[in-house]
Amino acid sequence: MDSFEYRDNRLHCENVLLSKVAEEFGTPTYVYSRDAIELAYLAYANALQGRDDMVCFAIKANSNLAVLNILARLGAGFDVVSQGELQRVLKSGGSADRVVFSGVSKQSSEIRYALKAGIHCFNIESAAELERINTVAGQLAMVAPISFRVNPNVDAGTHPYISTGLKENKFGIAIEDAPRLYQHAASLRHVNIIGMDCHIGSQLTEIAPFMDAMDKLLALIDVLDTQGISIKHLDLGGGLGVCYTDEVPPTPQQYIDAVLDKIGDREIKLIFEPGRSIVANAGVLLTEVEYLKHNESKNFAIVDAAMNDMLRPALYSAYLDILPLQISDSQECQEYDVVGPVCETGDFLGKDRQLNIAAGDLLAVCSAGAYGFTMSSNYNTRTRAAEVMVDDNQSYQIRARETFDDLIKGEKILPQN
Ligand code: LLP
């Protein structure tokens, strides 16, 4: 996390002291580095230089308008999975013709909205969805650009909850069914086949599963070609992992070099849908220690952020580094479980962490830029955190902390009778 570093024992984001951010905006607060986001995106874009490819940020990882706007300004495309996500792209200055629409269940109204907006492609995940998209496009007298998400049945070697490319997963169409479905799609009047896609999982730390998937998809593209169906783009999804602790995932450059190597001199446009690898290490979650509590066998640091703010440790047993904003001179660490105020045993941000802390100290939960705020909830009637973007020596609040009134908006009690 180069954009986050200690200077004089105090943790900074770019040229901003993080304790100042906490002071100004309170805690819990997500803080992102503009520089880190831009560098991560450019690592993909630069590796593809000179080619007519698209890097479509998977906005489920972080959908704040300011984040999307920064990426849109660099020319990024976007991968969306709902009408709401598409509306966010348009609102933040992204262009519809650089959007791919993924997800297993697109509603008719969402399909209509996306068609009218003029998106680049629908990534279709079932035969039923193909029929629906053809019907909705027909009603609008339009032709929908489509791709099938093919499930190549490869093991991504990642956590089962974020592995999506195996036969038993709900995602995509079976590779064996693909030729039949492509043939059928070719016979429909209101869809236009332009691509093929896959997404085999998330937090992959090896290139091999991507290559296995590519081999299978390229072979399928060749089969379709002999049947008169030409595939113009290959979308490899997202999935490139990041370093949370000691993982050493390939860099975007290494990954793309391997992809381009395999593509050779084929004339095909490439699409990537990275989420985590653009934003995970561009963000931290600031939190304050409320209480220290010592049980017979455990020490707890009870902090003001909880599983509703950052769900990943509770849901996937994910490990996120937890750092003090100020390193103290004394070396006397104790082992703590860092837990939140939510009434669940699963409400922890970190277990067995060596920390030298007191109540009132500030901590940073690291690598929190992806699947942090976007997976947050209001469980226990907790207002969701504020979000701040740091740009060099400036910090901008890019989302105000929710208020109680925001929370109960739309709720009503029954009339007296
Ligand atoms: N494209 C599709 C179709 C996807 O389903 C996903 C992620 C991506 C792209 C982006 O993948 P990435 O580059 O971020 O790995 N909440 C989990 C991760 C769920 C990923 C879901 N799909 C977590 O916090 O680890």
Residue type, 285: L
- Give pLDDT, residue 170: 80
Q: Say if ligand 1 is within 6 A of residue 199 CB.
A: yes
Domain ranges of the chain: 4-31+280-408, 103-272
| Ligand 1 centre distance from Cα of residue 276 (Å) | 7
Residues 379-385: contacts with CB within 8 Å, 24+ apart?
379/307, 379/308, 379/342, 380/306, 380/308, 380/341, 380/342, 380/343, 381/407, 382/306, 382/308, 382/309, 382/341, 382/342, 383/407, 384/308, 384/309, 385/28, 385/29, 385/30, 385/285, 385/305, 385/309
Q: What is the largest CA-CA distance in the chain?
A: 76
* Ligand 1: residue whose CA is nearest its atom 19: 162
343 is catalytic: yes
| Ligand 1 centre distance from Cα of residue 254 (Å) | 20
Q: Say if ligand 1 is within 6 A of residue 58 CB.
A: yes
Top CATH class, 4-31+280-408: mainly beta
* Residue pLDDT tens, the chain, 417 long: 579 999 999 999 999 999 999 999 999 999 999 999 999 999 999 999 889 999 999 999 999 999 999 999 999 999 999 999 999 999 999 999 999 999 999 999 999 999 999 999 999 999 999 999 999 999 999 999 999 999 998 887 766 666 676 677 788 999 999 999 999 999 999 999 999 999 999 999 999 999 999 999 999 999 999 999 999 999 999 999 999 999 999 999 999 999 999 999 999 999 999 999 999 999 999 999 999 999 989 999 999 999 999 999 999 999 999 999 999 877 789 999 999 999 999 999 999 999 999 999 999 999 999 999 999 999 999 999 999 999 999 999 999 999 999 999 999 999 998
Q: Taking each helix axis from N to C terminus, what angle separates 34-47 and 65-73, rounded to the nearest 10 degrees?
A: 40
How is 354-384 classified by DSSP, letter by letter?
Answer: EE---TT-EEEE-S-SSSSGGG---GGGPPP
Of 125, 164, 171, 202, best ligand 1 pocket probe by most atoms within 8 Å of the beta carbon: 202
- Give pLDDT, residue 160: 64
In the CATH scheme, what is the code of domain 103-272?
3.20.20.10
14 and 7 Cβ atoms separated by less than 8 Å? no
CA 281 to chain centre: 12
Q: How many CB atoms lie within 10 A of CB 182?
A: 23
Per CATH, 4-31+280-408 and 103-272 having the same topology is answered no
Q: Which two tokens stand for residue 359?
A: 């109540």
Atom of ligand 1 nearest to the CA of 103: 3
Position of tokens 């220690």? Answer: 289
- Give pLDDT, residue 87: 98
- Give pLDDT, residue 161: 63
| Ligand 1 centre distance from Cα of residue 372 (Å) | 12
| Ligand 1 centre distance from Cα of residue 277 (Å) | 10
- Give pLDDT, residue 331: 72
- Give pLDDT, residue 209: 95
Q: How many CB atoms lie within 10 A of CB 253?
A: 13
Q: Say if ligand 1 is within 6 A of residue 252 CB.
A: no
- Give pLDDT, residue 19: 98
